[in-house]
Every structure is written in C-alpha cells, then in structure tokens.
Amino acid sequence: MTALLRRHPALVPGVLFAAFLLLAPVFAQRGMLNDLWNMAFFVVLASAWNLLGGFAGQVSLGYSAFVGIGAYTTVLLANAGWSPWLTLPVGAALAVAFSVAVGLPTFRLRGPYFTIATIGVGEAVRVIASGLEFTGGSSGLRMPQGTFDFNANYYAMVGLALLTLALVAWLQKHAFGLALEAIRQDIDAAEALGVHSTQAKLTAHAISAALVAIGGGLFATNFQYISPGSVFDFRLSLTIVLMPIVGGMATITGPVLGALLFSYLQIKLLASPTLRDSYLFIYGGLLIVVMLFEPKGIVGLWERLIGLRPRRRAQPPVGEARRAS
C-alpha cells in the first residue's frame, strides 16, 4: 500500500478521506453521520452517472428511474419477508434489464434528442408508479419494522461509494474507458476505428444503473419510506446531472467534488425555510456560472490555478555549474 501511494501521490487525499469516512462512526455524532451518509449517496449517483454522461458524453436526465427501481424493489421484497440486503442485487438486476430496454431505442438518438427521450422515460416511470396499487400509488410504501440499522447502512453506503469510485477509475484506464472517450469525442470516427458504440453505451448504462439502483435500495432502508415523488422525481435526475458538470465531467475527482458541494448546499438549504424551495434556482445559477467561466468545472478551475503558479527553474548539474563558473 505504501509503495502504491509513493508511485501515485495523488491517491493520498482519497485514501485519507476514505479512512475518515470509515472511522467516522467511532467519534462523530449522529447528525454528522447523517450528513456523511448523504454525501456518500450523492457520490454514488454522480460517479455512476459520470460513467455514461461524462466518459461517453451521453447526457441522460432519467437516472431517478434507477434510484426508484432499486428503492421499490427493496421495499416490496422486504415487505414480502426478504432481508433488505438480499434485495439489493435483485434491484440492481432489474435496473440493468430496464437500462437495456430503454437504451436500445434511445441510443439510436444523438445529442439533445437522446436527452429529451430520457426525460420522457423518467417521467413515464414516475406516472406509472403513482398509479399502481402494489406500489402504494402516490402515497408510497413503508419498510417493515425491524429493518433499520443506521450503522450497517452507513458502512454499506460508504463502501458502495468507494467501490463505485474504484470501479470507474479501473474502467477509465482500460480499453472500455478508451472506447467511451472515443465515443464522446467523435462517435463516427470511433465506429470507423472498430468501436461498437451501441454496445459500449449499453454496457456503461447498465453498470451505472446497477450502482444507482443499489444506492436507491440503501436509500429506502435508511429512510424507511419512499414515494414516487421522492425517488422518481425529475429534480433528483437534474441534481445527478449537475453534480458532475459542476465538479468536472469525465474525471474521477470531479463528481466527488460536485457531490460534496451539492450535499453541503442541500443541508444548508433544507435548514432554511426561506431557501428550501429555491434550491433549483440556486443550482441553475451555479450551473450558469460554471458554464460561462469554467466549462471544465471545479477540476478545470483547479488546473487553471495550478498552471498560473510559477514553476521553479531546474538547477543545473553540479559539473555544469562548476564549468559555467
């Protein structure tokens, strides 16, 4: 581990932060742990979406559908007598199946047409869930008693966030990540070079959908209640998209920074009754500022500041210095 950190010093902040999250239940109070849980949940959503929207350039505004699929799978099966932990892989599998069913027709579209299509899919799922009897309709459903264990849920969410980051970083370094990058830059050129764009996009869609669905299942277990308005909400889909854009798309750290910022803003906005209903206006203003002044987000701003820092001139070797004198 020490040798790995010496070869890659950029990993040190991430390792320290991961250690902080894992050790937080030892010293932190419940309120702080709730905030950290919320932050880890946002990291899962933003990083998973970034696999498709950032690396492949396919901007989807329907990811709340996968959150809802995972959440409703957990609640329905838990009420049928299942352990909540066993419901998570089932929700992930259903989300993968739904992502393929949605992706096959929508990935034929490009640019804003694809984005508009995903909005329609997400809203259709919300309307359907609101009208079905077994989902509780617009009233929603509750988890059965005895299924709430905050510490276990906290470690599960933090573990899922770390797994998501590790998986996305691993995929980025391999041929699959390079194929997604080629699709983002020029899909026609990528296909001419032998990249099967539809297959690559479907795979990225399925992987991210599974991760988001597991996060949705943990969301249902933690809050013990869900409704179509809470897990299929278009505002949630919009937040999922804004976090990587503000932090920096097609990077590993960008979605994490965006999730930290948005989770902090959510905590502050929910604590203020006057600002509680205006968070979309604030998020929209933040997005406008980012797109106007730094399209690469917080990561791009940091790289620009690092570039402005004067570099030290390399010292000549000792022998050359003596000859010069």
Say if residue 247 is exposed, middle or buried (CB neighbours under 10 Å; 0-12, 13-18, 19+).
Answer: buried
Instruction: Check pLDDT > 90 for residue 190.
Output: yes
pLDDT for 56 equals 95
Whether the CB-CB separation of 52 and 189 falls below 8 Å is answered with no
Residue labelled with tokens 């308005």? 229
Residue labelled with tokens 């804003």? 112
Whether the CB-CB separation of 160 and 44 falls below 8 Å is answered with yes
Residue labelled with tokens 């989902």? 135
Does the predicted TM-score (pTM) go above 0.85?
yes
User: How far is the C-alpha of 228 from the C-alpha of 1, rounded, in Å?
Assistant: 44
Whether the CB-CB separation of 106 and 121 falls below 8 Å is answered with yes
pLDDT tens digits along 251-281: 999 999 999 988 888 877 777 776 666 767 7
Instruction: Check pLDDT > 80 for residue 315.
Output: no
Instruction: Check pLDDT > 90 for residue 205.
Output: yes
How many C-alpha atoms does 108 have within 13 Å on its Cβ side? Answer: 4
Identify residue 269 by its one-letter amino acid code: L
Say if residue 133 is exposed, middle or buried (CB neighbours under 10 Å; 0-12, 13-18, 19+).
Answer: exposed
Say if residue 89 is exposed, middle or buried (CB neighbours under 10 Å; 0-12, 13-18, 19+).
Answer: middle
Confidence of residue 184 (pLDDT cuts 50, 70, 90): very high
Instruction: Check pLDDT > 80 for residue 284.
Output: no
pLDDT for 312 equals 53
Maximal C-alpha separation, the chain: 89
Length of the chain: 325
User: How far is the C-alpha of 185 from the C-alpha of 81, rounded, in Å?
Assistant: 48
Average pLDDT over the chain reads 88
* 148 vs 306, more confident: 148
pLDDT for 258 equals 92
pLDDT for 111 equals 87
Phi and psi, residue 316, nearest 5°: -65, 155
Say if residue 124 is exposed, middle or buried (CB neighbours under 10 Å; 0-12, 13-18, 19+).
Answer: middle
CA torsion sign, 241 to 157 to 79 to 91? positive
Identify residue 155 by its one-letter amino acid code: Y
- Percentage of the chain beyond pLDDT 70 is 88
* 283 vs 222, more confident: 222
pLDDT tens digits along 31-50: 999 999 999 999 999 999 99
H-helix or E-strand containing 147?
none
* 130 vs 3, more confident: 130
- Which pair of structure tokens corresponds to residue 189? 């050129």
Instruction: Check pLDDT > 50 for residue 321.
Output: no
Instruction: Check pLDDT > 90 for residue 103.
Output: yes
Q: What are the structural domains of the chain?
A: 24-324 (1.10.3470)
pLDDT for 18 equals 86
- Which pair of structure tokens corresponds to residue 41? 């949940």
